[in-house]
């Protein structure tokens, strides 16, 4: 990376609300401060692809965060539908494994070449930033979240995936093993200094994440649940300027 021109282009606002009206209110109030809007499972389940299409028609860039995890054929087909919608990025779970990741990468590349449409960046989710070592241990996984995240990032890269979603604390180790700067690292769990971490176990401030080498920052609740969402975002973007 980086194909982005301004600090705000690295900021992704998670539209984690339950109605199209609430989503549009957030889009209106954050105009000019956000590079991309993230539509996740809550909003997508409530409103369907129509809202995504409407955002795209307005000229917004959309990150479709539905974290596909299924058999290779199903995920490949879902990926093609995401590409057909015209989103800039979408997510899959790296835990779906190599065959699943390779299938979606190939199907999307083939579809986009055939239809002459822009190819979305496929991002792999490694370990959810809400999970700590003890949670993984309870799931029978006895390794540090950071180690698993790095292993899964390597696998995703080897499968041709365009980047990963990872916590700020994993970036250095991911970059160490994958020097390819075209491989994007998208960091959720961003918390401005002094705000609540909510259920995020591995959060970072915007500055920490950028210093660590994040390409994109995903921010949700600190903006969405604020009485002054624009101010919170302005503050973040100001701190991102060199």
The footprint of ligand C5P (CB under 6 A) covers 14, 16, 40, 65, 125, 128-129, 165, 188-189, 198, 200, 218-221
CB of 214 to ligand C5P, least distance (A): 13
Q: Are 120 and 87 in contact (CB under 8 A)?
A: yes
Residue number with CB closer to ligand C5P (79 or 188): 188
Has 67 been annotated as catalytic?
A: yes
> Beta 36-40 vs 62-68: how paired, if at all?
parallel
Q: Which residue is nearest to ligand C5P (CB)?
A: 220
In this structure, what DSSP letter does residue 215 have?
A: S
8 Å CB contact between 105 and 122: yes
Least distance to ligand C5P, CB of residue 110, Å: 27
Q: Which residues neighbour 59 within 8 Å (Cβ) at sequence distance 6 or greater?
A: none
Rounded Cα–Cα distance for residues 165 and 176 (Å): 16
Structure token pair of residue 227: 């009485």
Nearer to ligand C5P, 55 or 125 (CB): 125
**Out of 67, 121, 157, 191, which one is annotated catalytic?**
67
Phi, psi of 172 (to 5 degrees): -55, -45
Nearer to ligand C5P, 2 or 41 (CB): 41
The smaller minimum CB distance to ligand C5P, of residues 100 and 224, is found at 224
* Distance of closest approach, residue 200 Cβ to ligand C5P, in angstroms: 5
For 153-206, the DSSP string reads HHHHHHTT--EEE--GGGHHHHHHH---TTSEEEE--B--TTS--TT-SS-B-H
**Smallest separation, CB 98 to ligand C5P (Å):** 19
Residue 108 beta carbon to ligand C5P: minimum distance, rounded to whole angstroms: 20
Q: Which residues contact 136 (CB under 8 A, 6 or more apart)?
A: 127, 142, 143, 145, 148
Calpha distance 181→16 (Å, rounded): 29
Six-digit token string for 52:
């995504």
Nearer to ligand C5P, 125 or 174 (CB): 125
Any idea which residues carry the catalytic annotation?
67
């Amino acid at each position: 990376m980086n194909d982005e021109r301004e600090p705000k282009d690295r900021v992704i606002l998670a539209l984690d609300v339950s109605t199209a009206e609430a989503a549009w209110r957030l889009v209106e109030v954050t105009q000019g401060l956000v590079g991309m809007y993230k539509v996740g499972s809550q909003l997508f389940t409530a409103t369907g692809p129509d809202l995504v299409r409407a955002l795209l028609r307005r000229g917004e860039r959309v990150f479709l965060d539905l974290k596909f995890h299924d058999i290779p054929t199903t995920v490949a087909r879902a990926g093609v539908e995401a590409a057909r919608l015209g989103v800039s990025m979408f997510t899959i779970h790296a835990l779906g494994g190599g065959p699943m990741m390779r299938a979606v990468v190939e199907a999307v590349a083939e579809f986009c070449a055939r239809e002459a449409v822009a190819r979305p960046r496929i991002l792999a989710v490694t370990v959810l930033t809400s999970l700590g070592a003890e949670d993984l241990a309870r799931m029978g996984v006895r390794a540090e979240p950071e180690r698993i995240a790095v292993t899964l990032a390597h696998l995703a890269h080897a499968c041709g995936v365009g980047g990963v979603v990872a916590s700020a604390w994993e970036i250095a180790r991911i970059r160490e093993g994958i020097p390819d700067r075209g491989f994007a690292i998208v960091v959720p769990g961003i918390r401005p200094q002094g705000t609540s971490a909510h259920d995020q176990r591995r959060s970072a401030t915007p500055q920490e994440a950028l210093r660590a080498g994040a390409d994109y920052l995903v921010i949700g609740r600190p903006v969405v649940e604020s009485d002054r969402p624009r101010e919170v975002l302005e503050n973040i973007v100001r701190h991102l300027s060199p």
